[in-house]
Amino acid sequence: MSGGDLLPSQRSLFDIPDDVAYLNCAYMSPLPKPSLAAGETGLQRKARPWTISSADFFVVSEAVRGLFAQMINASTDDVAFIPAASYGMAQAAHNISLTPGQTILTLAEQFPSNVYPWMDLAERSGAAFVSIPRPPDDDWTAGLLARIDAATGVVAIPHCHWTDGGLIDLKEVGAACRRVGAILCIDGTQSVGALPLDVKHVDPDFLCVASYKWLLGPYSLGFLYVAPRWHDARPIEHNWIARRDSEDFAGLVNYQREYQPGARRFDVGERSNFALMPVAKASLDLILGWTVPRIAATLRRRTDAIARRAQDEFGIGSVAAARRADHYLGLRFSRGIPADLPARLAANNVFVSVRGQAMRVTPHLWATDTDIERLFSTLQSVVR
């Protein structure tokens, strides 16, 4: 992608004071102003419920379902609403039967919402829970491909490691899963919205995404892509709106065995959240307008520049560019992260986060060169 295709700063869309360097999208994105306004309008409707019609339970949700589907090249019917990534993985694990002798593959130090459901499934089924050790060369893809075999029942992984952005080639892993009949469950919370993912290329069985990070969305509302081959599976809860004809409120007493089409059966109860759903819509509209490939290219330039400078000026390393997700950087200090570094940075209005052995520096389109100067000048005073 050429320089002309990169996006200009979008800081004016965010409520970030000039003297705040917020480099922590991996923790939580700030809400864009249009999303905040949409949420305020939505919340006000609850103060006047007579303005909420039965159609309102469906219209915005269906639009949001379609926008998320567009982002990952899925059909609207493949998308369900979830309150958290853990809920999405619970839907998947609830429907997967394994036997002793089979394995569940995960990565070392993976985020817990994509670990505990699989430990539980292993305990229930007798399958082995396997955590692939961190490869010294950060080549998670090779590590996974070496372990995927006829015994593999589930591969439960992210697109990039949440501690340092280490990238997994999902297309290759997806192909390996299909060769042996393994089920592929992806946690896209730290990537979807900022790193392109096409479900037609990867063919995951399930893909869950919490929206409060790279989707710039609200807390407590996320998405679950469910491959069509799982659309007949059993949801973990049974709510009225997921059943056929739920649009007819007067007829809800006519209990239905059938569900709404596609993945809608997996929707969390009370998914028609009048405050949060419009927030999600406004944020998805923004991202789709910018386009995910342009976001990735713009953030790649930013994170590469930070990585180079950290290495050149301070000898601080990170995952090599080719093995790192475009948008995601984790700095590695050869003698460990100085204990007071995050606090010293925060005291100077520089916001990053430490996870595992890495200090995550994850700017988004709001970040400016001034923010990066603030980061490095604070590092200068602490690390040198």
Ligand X SMILES: Cc1ncc(COP(=O)(O)O)c(C=O)c1O
Q: How far apart are CA 70 and CA 225, in angstroms?
A: 11
The smaller minimum CB distance to ligand X, of residues 114 and 246, is found at 114
Q: How far is the CB of 276 from ligand X (least distance, A)?
A: 14
CB of 148 to ligand X, least distance (A): 21
d(CA 69, CA 79): 7
Query: Shortest Cβ distance from residue 132 to ligand X (Å)?
Result: 16
Q: Which of 211, 238, 207, 200 is nearest to 224 (CA)?
A: 207
**By C-beta, is 127 or 210 nearer to ligand X?**
210
Q: How far is the CB of 326 from ligand X (least distance, A)?
A: 16
Least distance CB 112 / ligand X (angstroms): 8
Q: Decide whether 86 or 246 has the Cβ nearer to ligand X.
A: 86
Q: Which residue, 188 or 278, has its beta carbon nearer to ligand X?
A: 188
Q: How many residues does the chain have?
A: 384
∠ Cα 73 174 192 (to 5°): 40
Tell me the H-state helices in 197-349.
199-202, 276-290, 292-314, 341-347
Helix/strand number for the chain, H first, E second: 11, 12
Q: How far is the CB of 56 from ligand X (least distance, A)?
A: 26
Q: How far is the CB of 89 from ligand X (least distance, A)?
A: 8
- Burial of 332 per CB tally in 10 Å (0-12, 13-18, 19+): middle
Q: How far is the CA of 211 from the CAs of 157, 168, 222, in angstroms?
A: 18, 21, 5
Nearer Cβ to ligand X (74/325): 325
| Closest C-alpha to 364, from 295, 289, 311 | 295
Among residues 243 and 327, whose Cβ is nearest to ligand X? Answer: 327
**Tokens found for residue 158:** 């992210």
Give the shortest CB-114-to-ligand X separation in angstroms: 6
CB 178 within 8 A of CB 203: yes
Inter-CA distances, 98 with 93, 120, 121, 124, 126, Å: 10, 12, 8, 9, 8
Q: Which helix (H) or strand (E) holds 33?
A: helix 33-47
Question: Which CB atom, from 107 or from 295, has the smaller least distance to ligand X?
Answer: 107
Binding site for ligand X (CB under 6 A): 84-86, 111, 113, 158, 162, 187, 189-190, 210
Question: Which of 215, 379 has the CB closer to ligand X?
Answer: 215
Residue with tokens 């539980």, as numbered in its chain:
120
Q: Which is nearer to ligand X, 213 or 243 (CB)?
A: 213
Smallest distance, Å, CB 243 to ligand X?
26
Sign of CA dihedral 13, 15, 21, 27: negative
133, 202, 212: which is closest to 173 by C-alpha? 202
E strands present in the chain: 21-22, 79-82, 103-107, 128-132, 152-158, 183-187, 206-210, 222-226, 330-331, 350-351, 353-355, 358-360
Q: Which is nearer to ligand X, 113 or 378 (CB)?
A: 113
Shortest distance, CB of residue 113 to ligand X, whole angstroms?
Answer: 3
